[in-house]
Structure 1
């Protein structure tokens, strides 16, 4: 009578051991896996529920992340890619390396609707130029910025999602006049960094008056440092949105575990980590649940966002305009 029970017990032990041996590898950007980023807290929270080994692998900034996935191709070690945005997902889709996620994303709180079979959002924000509150008469649009003597630091659109977002911001706001805007901005640009962290560091060191970042960046200083000396310039032409996404790599051997992670990504356990580690708006958390301080942030009156397909179609032309202006 005990034999079936013993056999069942061995099966349960074997199953538990197998689960503990399961490893999920997530490619993401460097700041996500940093000690102050969401990675450590997300890893601990997910491993409590999955009985697995979750490993984040930093791969530079978002655009560099996509480049790594492209170079590795069928040899990639990633099960999930996390950190692309709407400006990159059409290019990622064309690689044919991202599988349908099969998840109905209920409870999203973003200001836009979402219906993508391969990518799910986990956070979003608006690009903006951060500056000190002591800056007199901050510019209210790109033309005023170009006409000023202000020093700015931006990120490279070939390696950085904020850098690419700035290209799309100027393009969405000015269309065929984008090239002229860049010509005007060229002498304001102190340097172009590979990623966000380097640019923001230069701004904090006083090397620039303004830095390309997010409307949510002042929340970090306010909440983490009790410093209210940083704000953003509100631009009349609007601010471009960034929606960051994750997708399952089609070649993964851990499909069920990968899908479990994406479902976890939209749960409160993950979403509550985002505001005070990634300093963005969570994709599936009500505004009422945001930390105190987020209610003080600048909210753009005119959100700008190109579709993934339009962003892909405009990308090379916008990059050519940017390079031509900065090479003069």
Structure 2
């Protein structure tokens, strides 16, 4: 997840390289924009990893998760990245099929709500997709897609072609309503104010009052409760269940720093990485930090039904689901 990068811009600087710097190995990690924003986990993770790696950890920004995979598939073996961080299970099948990834070699004890044995991709955080709202502005909260369709509420969603939350909504509807997906999208279309390229733009517009609800995560209200001391945000619980997102990282097979890349993947499951996740990326950690979670996480909605297509199912259904989505929004 991403918080609150909608107020942050990307700054780039070029510095002269000293002889000492030139001898320092560099590890390049391709990830999504908000992960490396001043408010994201990137700065803390960079400092923690560099404290022991004897290297220079460089994060490269590539928009949202789905756009990141598209860029990677376009550049192929010409990519200068060593590690890709920010894909999810809706994208890993296509990423694996590219042949661009190498085994990570890790067998950690993970705390994710699904069995995990993928040799190429390792989780670092997870949550469920949900529609988030301001309790002071929205009173009649829908408890299902049908109730949302029947309401007069407005929503903002993300583009499934560039955004992992947008693709997650596509798969959520496919998993919950395999026979009614076209009907659900036709009903949702009048509720949609706009479709943004990524999560940051959508959440920013929601906070500016442009819509009643925004596609985000069940963990998003924790940001407001902890960082802003504002308990007025909540995730609507849907009786048909919520779709799970597990975010992962993988090593590129053509990495110029394979040993450092494996070190980083191993570091991902340690406290130096995982302790930064809950209150900067605002997701559940893949391994519980030594300090535990802020009590605000205890107040979050926990779905009674957890939905998740396999990576293969998501890849198989993606194109057809996109066609249904495009047709519904074109009406």
Alignment match, 1:117 = 119
Alignment match, 1:239 = 242
Of 294, 299, 308, the match for 1:305: 308
Of 266, 289, 304, the match for 2:292: 289
When normalised by structure 2's length, the TM-score is 0.92
Matched, 1:217 2:200: no
When normalised by structure 1's length, the TM-score is 0.93
Deviations 1:107-155 (A, max 9, x none): x111211100000000000000000113112000001101111000000
Of 174, 190, 193, the match for 1:190: 193
Give the whole-Å Cα distance in 2 for the aligned partners of 1:297 and 1:286: 18
Give 5+ residue unaligned stretches, structure 1. 1-16
Alignment match, 1:130 = 132
Deviations 1:276-302 (A, max 9, x none): 000000001169811221011000000
Of 70, 91, 102, the match for 2:73: 70
- The 5-angstrom pairing of residues 191-210 of structure 1 reads 191-210=194-213
Alignment match, 1:8 = none
Note the aligned Cα RMSD (angstroms).
Answer: 1.3
8 Å contact kept, 2:271–2:290: no
8 Å contact kept, 2:275–2:291: no
Corresponding residue SS for 1:289: coil
Matched, 1:322 2:329: no
Q: Cα distance 1:19–1:266, how it changes in 2: closer, same or farther (>3 A)? A: farther
8 Å contact kept, 2:156–2:194: yes
Give the whole-Å Cα distance in 2 for the aligned partners of 1:231 and 1:194: 23
8 Å contact kept, 1:20–1:52: no
Corresponding residue SS for 2:179: helix
Give the whole-Å Cα distance in 2 for the aligned partners of 1:164 and 1:207: 22
Give 5+ residue unaligned stretches, structure 2. 1-19
Give the whole-Å Cα distance in 2 for the aligned partners of 1:177 and 1:19: 58
Give the length in aligned residue pairs: 311
Alignment match, 1:9 = none
- The 5-angstrom pairing of residues 31-46 of structure 1 reads 31-46=34-49
8 Å contact kept, 1:45–1:269: yes
Alignment match, 2:17 = none
Q: Cα distance 1:144–1:280, how it changes in 2: closer, same or farther (>3 A)? A: same
Matched, 1:177 2:208: no
Give the whole-Å Cα distance in 2 for the aligned partners of 1:276 and 1:186: 33
Give the whole-Å Cα distance in 1 for the aligned partners of 2:91 and 2:42: 22
Corresponding residue SS for 1:228: coil
Q: Cα distance 1:80–1:148, how it changes in 2: closer, same or farther (>3 A)? A: same
8 Å contact kept, 2:274–2:288: yes
